[in-house]
Structure 1
Amino acid sequence: MKIQLWSIGKENDPYIREGIAVFQKRLQHYVDFELRLIPTLKQAASLSIPELKKQEARMLLELLQPQDYLVALDEHGKMMTTLEFAGFLQQRTNAGTRQLILLIGGAFGLDASILQRAQYKLSLSPLTFPHQLVRLIMTEQLYRAYSVLHNEKYHHQ
């Protein structure tokens, strides 16, 4: 299975980039992983929030392939423990998922059309985090989940 973490927004600050690189390197031992940054729309500041979300959704829907398994990160999604997340990844692998997309929306979240397209909605926390930090957290959590699946000592149960 290939996992891609998609995020709308600007490039990562150096400290975030360094942190992601650490976990991305560790993840290579378990899974094909890629971080894909999707630039913010050029005219974003001139659009209403609903229109911005619709245009971002159109762009995302063009990038998605029909067979992609989409996990939308959304404040109303399901929260999981690390062990549940590891189990979820194992289920997707067992189901033959070829490509799993973890999607972090733009500054105002995801349009309803993307949430409808998503096969799963995941919430990290009831707290609000900066998008760059969510990229780092998700990369670390992927590594942590795979270390659980391989009975390695990174995650203490």
Structure 2
Amino acid sequence: MKIQLWSIGKENDPYIREGIALYQKRLQHYVDFELKLIPTVKQAGSLSVPELKKQEARIIMDMLQPADYLLALDEHGKMMTTVQFSDFLQQRTNASTRQLIILIGGAFGLDPSLLQRAQLQLSLSPLTFPHQLVRLIMTEQLYRAYTVLNREKYHHQ
């Protein structure tokens, strides 16, 4: 299975880039992982929030393949423990999912069309985090989940 973390927005700040690189390097032992940054829509400031979300959705829908499993990060999504997330990844592997896309929306979240396309909506927390930090958190959580699956000592229960 290949996992791609897609995020709308600007390049990562140096401290975020460094953290992601650390976990990306560790993840390569378990899974094919890639971070893909999707540039912000041109003239986003002049668009209404619904129109901006629609334009972002069009870009993402064009990038998705029909067989892609889409996990959308959304504040109203399901919450999981680390072990549940590990089990989810194992289920996707067992189901022969070729590509898992984990999607972080833009500043105003995801368009309803993307939430409908998603096979799973996941919430990281009831708290709000900066999008760049969510990229780092998700990369670390993927690494943590794979160490759980491989019974390694990174995650303490």
Q: Normalised by the size of structure 2, how large is the TM-score?
A: 1.00
- 2:53 equivalent in structure 1: 53
Distance 1:137 1:9 in 2: 16
Identity %: 83
Alpha-carbon offset, residue 72 of structure 1: 0.2
Task: Report the secondary structure of 1:144's partner residue.
Answer: helix
d(CA) in 2 for partners of 1:59, 1:20 = 24
- Do residues 86 (structure 1) and 86 (structure 2) align? yes
- Whether 1:126 aligns to 2:155 is no
- Alignment gaps of 5+ in structure 1: none
Aligned to 2:106: 106
> 1:17 and 2:4 equivalent?
no
CA–CA distance in structure 1, aligned partners of residues 101 and 122 of structure 2: 12
Between the aligned partners of 1:15 and 1:56, the Cα distance in structure 2 is 26
1:155 maps to which residue?
155
Deviations 1:67-112 (A, max 9, x none): 0000000000000000000000000000010000000000000000
* Displacement after TM superposition at 1:44 (Å): 0.4
State the SS of the aligned residue for 1:127. coil
Matches of 2:135 and 2:8 in 1, distance apart?
A: 10
- Unmatched segments (≥5 aa) in structure 2: none
Does residue 31 in structure 1 map to residue 34 in structure 2?
no
Runs of 4+ in 1 over 4 A off after TM superposition: none
Q: Give the SS at the match of 1:152.
A: coil
Deviation at 1:42, TM superposition (A): 1.0
Q: Could you say which residue in structure 1 is the equivalent of 2:65?
A: 65
How far apart are the structure 2 equivalents of 1:56 and 1:22? 29
Question: Take 1:43 and 1:98, find their aligned partners in 2: how far apart are those partners?
Answer: 35
Give the Cα–Cα distance (whole angstroms) in 2 for the partners of residues 119 and 150 of structure 1.
Answer: 25
Q: CA deviation at 1:26?
A: 0.1
Question: How many residues align structurally?
Answer: 157
Task: Output the CA distance in 2 between the equivalents of 1:55 and 1:36.
Answer: 18
SS of equivalent residue, structure 1 residue 34: strand
